[in-house]
Amino acid sequence: MDQDAYLALRGIHKRFGAFTALQGIDLSIRRGEFVCFLGPSGCGKTTLLRIVAGLETQSTGRIVQAGRDISQLPPAERDYGIMFQSYALFPNLTVAQNVGYGLVNRRQPRAAVAARVAELLDLVGLPGSGARYPAQMSGGQQQRIALARALATSPGLLLLDEPLSALDATVRMHLRNEIRALQRRLGVTTIMVTHDQEEALSIADRIVVMNHGVIEQVGTPLQVYREPASPFVANFVGKVNRLQAVAEGGHWFRCGDKRLQCTPADGTAVAPGREVALYWRPEDRVVESLREDDPLHCAGTVRHIEFLGGNCLAEVEVEGLPGQPQQLQYSLNQVDEFGVREGGNVRFALRADRLRVFPV
C-alpha cells in the first residue's frame, strides 16, 4: 500500500451480473489533490466514485482512506461529502436547512449549525440566502448550495459526480473556477467525475483516464495531453491527427514520402517493417524558417477553416502522406495568420518531438 496515499484503491473489480464494469483498478490519491475521473459514457467512472462513497459495493478489492480500511463500511461511516449532477436538494427545505442537513443529523447544537451554515453560504458566494427555497434559485445557485452541503461536515474527501454538466456553458465555466479556488483554499482531497476533457484539463491536478473499466493513464493534464499513453488517450483528450507509418528500425519511421525519427510512446524499439500510428496534435507544427528539405516539411491545400474564437482549426489536404488524400487538422492562431484562406496553400513542418508513436 502506498504510504503517501490519502486514498488508495487496490484491485477494485465490479461486476453487474455477467458484465464487468471495473477490472482491477489501482490508484493512489494524495492528500489535498484534485483528481478527475475522465472517460466516455459507460467507462465505469461513476461506478468507481460510488464505490469510494460506499453507495456501490466492489466485487473484490480494497479501499483505504487516511490509513483506515473502509472497504466494507456503510456510507454513513465514511468521511466524505458528495455532490451530484442533479442538484438533489430537498425542495421542501430552505437553503439553510439543506446546507445544515448533515450537521443536524449529527445532532450538532442549533447555534453551531446556524453559524456553520452562514459560513458555508458565504464561502459559496450566496450570503443571506438561507431562508429561500431551492426552487427560487437558479441552476448555478442550486449547485453552489449542493456544494455547501457537501462541505458542511468538513469532510476529508469531496466527491463530485458530474457536478457541472446540467449547467449552461457560462455558469459551468464560472463555477468550475470557483470550485477549484475553493478546493485549493480548503485543501480538501477531491475526486470529480466528468466526461468533458476540457473540464478535466482545466481543473485537475491529475487526470485518471478510463475506458471500458480500466485505467488507461494517470497523469497531470499536461502529461495526458502531451504524452498520451495510448491511442485512446490521444483521441479522447484533445484533437489529434493519426498518420500511418512503417518502422525502419532505430526509431526511424517512413510515413508516405517522409522519413522521421522519434521515440515510441513506451520507449521500446519497434521491429522493422511493423506498422505504427503516429499521433500529432494540430498545434504541434512549425511555420517559421521552413526548409523544403526538412524531412517533416508538409505542403497542402486548406479545405476548410473552423473558427473557434481564440484560434482556428484548418483541414489541410497534405501531399506525400499515406492514404491520399490525407486531411490533417492544423491549428492557426488567427484566420488571417499567414494569409491562410480556404482553397489557399499552407506550408509547415511537423514537430518530431511532439509525435507519439504506437504500434498498430
Cα angle, residue 347 at apex, residues 343 and 352 outer, rounded to 5°: 135
Indicate whether 159 belongs to the interface with ligand ATP (CB under 6 A): no
Indicate whether 39 belongs to the interface with ligand ATP (CB under 6 A): yes
Kindly state the smallest distance separating residue 195's Cβ from ligand ATP, in Å: 5
Strand order in the sheet with 5-16: 19-30, 5-16, 60-65, 68-69
Lookup result for grid cell 495568420: 337
- Beta carbons of 127 and 118 less than 8 angstroms apart: yes
Stretch that binds ligand ATP, among 38-46, 57-65, 86-94, 176-184 (CB under 6 A): 38-46
Lookup result for grid cell 473540464: 199
Indicate whether 47 belongs to the interface with ligand ATP (CB under 6 A): yes
Please report, in angstroms and rounded to a whole number, the separation of the first and last CA atoms in the chain. Answer: 35
Site residues for ligand ATP, 253-312, by CB under 6 A, read none
- Beta carbons of 282 and 238 less than 8 angstroms apart: no
Indicate whether 41 belongs to the interface with ligand ATP (CB under 6 A): yes
> Using the rule CB under 6 A, which residue among 36, 44, 54, 240 binds ligand ATP?
44
Site residues for ligand ATP, 188-247, by CB under 6 A, read 195
Nearer to ligand ATP, 230 or 311 (CB): 230
Kindly state the smallest distance separating residue 13's Cβ from ligand ATP, in Å: 12
Indicate whether 16 belongs to the interface with ligand ATP (CB under 6 A): yes
Indicate whether 45 belongs to the interface with ligand ATP (CB under 6 A): yes
Residue 270 CA to residue 58 CA, distance in Å, equals 38
Residue 163 CA to residue 307 CA, distance in Å, equals 29
Nearer to ligand ATP, 42 or 187 (CB): 42
Position 87: which residue type?
A: Y
Which residues lie near ligand ATP (CB under 6 A)?
A: 16, 19, 21, 39, 41-47, 195
